[in-house]
Structure 1
Amino acid sequence: MEENQHVTSDQLLNENEYSLERSLRPQTLADYLGQGKIKKELAIYIEAARLREEALDHVLLYGPPGLGKTTMAMVIANEMDADIRTTSGPAIEKPGDLVALLNDLEPGGILFIDEIHRMPRIAEEMLYSAMEDFYVDIIIGQGDTAHPVHFPLPPFTLIGATTRAGSLSAPLRDRFGILAHMEYYHKDELKDIVLRSASVLQTDINTKGAYEIARRSRGTPRIANRLLKRVRDYAEVKGEGVVTEPIAALALDLLRVDHEGLDIVDQKFLSTLIKLYNGGPVGLNTLSANIGEEVDTIEDMVEPYLLQEGFIQRTSRGRMATAKAYEHLELAHLMTD
């Protein structure tokens, strides 16, 4: 007897959202906008591996969050015409989890581990032989019956992604043959990404509207796509459905994202640094307690862009606000010699 399958509206909505998110991701290096240096190098390495009919060397993608590391991993898999299995460092709780993932790979397959710096050390150590010689040694049984088993693996490619390359141990980092530093995007690159995403979302937008979103997106495609969706909503309700520069500016002002891309957390971070601590230096733990954000969140999500754009400096004594931060918040009168 056949069972009736009932799909709820929530399930359908989730599937549509997932499908939509996937459609925003480029599928090939040619479609991938930005990261020109990395793409140029990867194109050579991928072509060489295909000519030799070998698995691509292991790849480490590192840089701030939201720059397209996961997307790049998917693009590499597509270019290599390889199956890809995805996981994250925290999801690998014990060596057996890693063995199951590796065992599931076909020859030439790709294992993508996001947040690889958060993988347990015991699982990381198992990766050494897997990456270098394509085998793992596992212990079968317990007590007197325990014995090692040499478990061969097919040639595969490990792609690791991390926001903290410095947190990786040297033995693991050294086993990656291809190191790719993902950098913040230029405003023109983000404008093109916004225009492409708007086309996928069937959103009417002009070039100036796309640029207004791009310049407030902190150099990050993920943020650009998120802001585009909210500006689209604003345009449909408050405008005529067209994302223009004035509509984008009004929507983003409503979201409290300023013309430099700083959001409420960034502004609070700088304001606290200046008003409570005379611009610093002040320790990160102190700032974290003051603004109510976790230290990891500040280090991964807030500081990289503020450092990149010259709003703060890191010193041995703590964080310091620059003259640009005072001027941006219109607090120049509080500057001290």
Structure 2
Amino acid sequence: MSETKANDVQDFTPTSLRHLIGNDHVRQQVQVALDAAFEDQVRFCDCLLTGPPGMGKSSLANVIAHELATALHETLGQSISGPAELNALLLNAKDGELIHIDEVHELATEQQTALFICLDQRKLLVTNQKGALSIPLANFSLLLSTTDPHKVLSPLRDRMKMTLELAYLTADELTEVVHQRGRALGWSLGVGVTSEIAIRGRGTPRIALRILQSARRVSRSEGESEITLAHLRRACELDRIDNLGLTNQEQKYLELLGEGPTRLNVLASCLGMPSKTVSEVIEPFLIRSGVVIKDNGGRRTLTKSGMDHLSDLRMNQV
């Protein structure tokens, strides 16, 4: 690998199921589906890929294409603004190839409806001045990725033969992800770097790899070839990420709760952001990690671990 290609964590992407770490149940589902497709000499089954952001849904789609040794046609749901874009996507795919629509929940209702009708009939109905024209579609496979499956129309969801549900990784799995990426890029990682990144990675490969990239940036700014714990901690200091992986806004949220149970609208007002942003962006990880709980009255309260973490934050600020 050239020096130029070793500058970014995205310069390496998995190409085999053996490269994927965590979510063993999903890997087994895909392996069985691949084996069945090869045995029966049929196309890969249509799949719905779900899970939180940054879990590797696009990487999984890429791996499936590599395992099948076939072309992958990728686009974002919000990029398909009308029938012309959808028609072009469907018509470009050949037999046995894959179409991957990421963030399919952003696809307009009309286009989602057109999509499941096309799947049913395996043809495209195009209306022009001379009337309706029926165009046969190739025998491609469809992969749909989403973080919000409830926003995908039920008829479209139901036509997916398999659902692949990606979940958060454990700290050990995330350590392995960071180690694998660093090794593939030829980066030298000091003792303890991978495990400390994993602690801050919130169970999400994308976040862990972003921290790794930040640590390498600090290392290279000092002319060093090895990424050390000192580089990592300096990177986190610059990005204002604490030792639990909390962002600056999340830390401010904890400070507010340090005064006692507080309602969402009060927290949002103090943070200067809409309540929906607080509940959908700031709170999810804090609640998932057991730092914050909500009572029946909707008030937010620090747990014992949350109070301990806040104490640590305050001590570090002294």
What's the CA shift for 1:62? 1.2
Q: Which amino acid aligns with 1:312?
A: V
List runs of 5+ in structure 2 lacking aligned partners: 313-318
CA contact (8 A) 1:163 1:300 kept: no
CA contact (8 A) 2:48 2:160 kept: yes
1:283-323 CA distance string (max 9 Å, x none): 5xx75565355677656654442332123346776463341
Q: SS of the counterpart of 1:150?
A: strand
Q: What does residue 5 of structure 1 align with?
A: none
Query: Are 2:212 and 1:231 equivalent residues in the alignment?
Result: no
TM-score when scaled to structure 1?
0.81
Please, which moves more after superposition, 29-38 or 130-139?
Answer: 130-139
CA contact (8 A) 2:70 2:97 kept: yes
CA contact (8 A) 1:65 1:300 kept: no
What's the CA shift for 1:98? 0.5
Match of 1:248 among 220, 225, 232: 232
Please, which moves more after superposition, 49-58 or 231-240?
Answer: 231-240
Trace 1:319-334 onto structure 2 (pairs within 5 A): 320-323=300-303, 324-330=305-311
Q: Which amino acid aligns with 2:109?
A: R
CA contact (8 A) 1:28 1:75 kept: yes
Trace 1:1-337 onto structure 2 (pairs within 5 A): 20-141=8-129, 145=130, 147-237=131-221, 240-272=224-256, 274=257, 278-282=260-264, 290-292=270-272, 301-313=281-293, 318=298, 320-323=300-303, 324-330=305-311
CA contact (8 A) 2:47 2:164 kept: yes
What's the CA shift for 1:156? 1.4
What's the CA shift for 1:74? 0.3
Q: Which amino acid aligns with 1:268?
A: K
Q: Label 1:167 to 1:307 Cα distance change in 2 as closer, same or farther (>3 A).
A: farther
Measure the CA separation in 2 of the matches of 1:314 and 1:95.
Answer: 44
Q: What does residue 315 of structure 2 align with?
A: none
Q: Which amino acid aligns with 2:301?
A: A
Q: SS of the counterpart of 1:55?
A: coil
CA contact (8 A) 1:23 1:200 kept: no
CA contact (8 A) 1:62 1:163 kept: yes
1:165-187 CA distance string (max 9 Å, x none): 12222112111111111111111
Q: SS of the counterpart of 1:219?
A: coil
Residue identity (%): 28
List runs of 5+ in structure 1 lacking aligned partners: 1-15, 332-337
Q: CA RMSD in A?
A: 2.8
1:142-195 CA distance string (max 9 Å, x none): xxx5x2222221111111111111222211211111111111111111111211
Measure the CA separation in 2 of the matches of 1:312 and 1:38.
Answer: 30
Q: Label 1:166 to 1:18 Cα distance change in 2 as closer, same or farther (>3 A).
A: farther
Q: SS of the counterpart of 2:34?
A: helix
Measure the CA separation in 1 of the matches of 2:280 and 2:141.
Answer: 27
CA contact (8 A) 2:9 2:181 kept: no
CA contact (8 A) 1:239 1:247 kept: no
Q: Label 1:28 to 1:289 Cα distance change in 2 as closer, same or farther (>3 A).
A: farther
Q: SS of the counterpart of 1:37?
A: helix
Aligned length: 309
Measure the CA separation in 1 of the matches of 2:125 and 2:59.
Answer: 32
Q: SS of the counterpart of 2:167?
A: coil
Measure the CA separation in 2 of the matches of 1:179 and 1:18.
Answer: 34
